[in-house]
Amino acid sequence: MDRTLVVVFDTEVQAYQGRQALLQLDSDGSISVYAYAVLAKHADGTATVKQGDDSGPIGTLLGTSFGSLIGLLGGPVGLAVGASAGVLAGGAVDLNNARIGDDFIDDVTKVLTPNKVAVVAEVEEEWTTPVDTRMEAIGGTVFRRALSDVKHTIHDENVAAMKADLAQMKAEHAKAHADRKAKLQEKINQLDSKIQTQLQKAKERREAAERQAQAKVQVLKAKAAAAKAKAS
């Protein structure tokens, strides 16, 4: 199952130990790590991506669920993005794109307080014990959530409802008197603009999801090639 992991530590040293443990679990075949970053929360409320996944193709994707999650965890004060954190450069911070509930963000940010550091990752894991055992031994608090497509369903239903309203307004417009037509036309234009905006966002999310899926395939192919080369 594809999941988002956030492991919060008291120190940067512990966070890097956690990152290494996560990559070791990937190497052992216990999990698959598609993307990761080390996120530090500063005393003034700002956050910095200390280390991101430079090598994997998913690490440079814009507007993915992973990039949106990091942006959301950076908080309202701001997120400083280093050269190693291409995952966020130009990416939109969107809860819908993150494919997780706002309750998850709330739970994490209650623990990811100033001066703490987190390892944020997108992984595939079949069971939780390997990660939990390793991270707890280092002193990490583990949060996880399965990535969801629920937001896409809600979005589709919302657009369908707006289209129904638009059709009703157009029907009224056709029968309305001249003084009423202008007001109805204004509302029609406004609603149509909202629909087009939502459709564009949906298109961007679909394209991001496709890029992310393709990148995951490339990550798995690269791992298989490396394993084959090591065995030969």
* Residue 148: how many other CB atoms lie within 10 Å: 15
* Residue 172: how many other CB atoms lie within 10 Å: 14
pLDDT (average), residues 48-63: 54
Q: Are 187 and 2 in contact (CB under 8 A)?
A: no
pLDDT (average), residues 24-44: 90
* Residue 28: how many other CB atoms lie within 10 Å: 9
In angstroms, how far apart are the furthest CA atoms of the chain?
81
Residue 37 pLDDT more than 60? yes
Residue that has been written with the tokens 């130009």 in this structure: 90
Residue 94 pLDDT more than 80? no
Amino acid identity of 136?
Answer: E
Read off φ and ψ for residue 133, nearest 5 degrees. -65, -45
Q: Which residue has the higher pLDDT, 136 or 183?
A: 136
Amino acid identity of 205?
Answer: R
Q: What's the per-residue H, E or C state across 79-99?
A: EEECCCCCCCCCCCCCHHHHC
What band does 87 get if pLDDT is binned at 50, 70 and 90? very low
Closest residue by Cα to residue 90 from 61, 120, 112: 61
Pairing of strands 79-81, 47-52: parallel
| Residues forming beta bridges with residue 146, ordered by sequence position | 3
pLDDT (average), residues 204-214: 73
What band does 166 get if pLDDT is binned at 50, 70 and 90? confident
Q: List the 141-146 sheet strands across, edge first.
A: 79-81, 47-52, 31-41, 117-125, 2-9, 141-146
pLDDT (average), residues 192-221: 78
Residue 85 pLDDT more than 60? no
Tell me what the pLDDT averaged over the chain comes to: 78
pTM of the predicted model, to two decimals? 0.64
How far, in whole angstroms, is CA 47 from its chain's centroid?
17
DSSP 145-162: EE---HHHHHHHHHHHHH
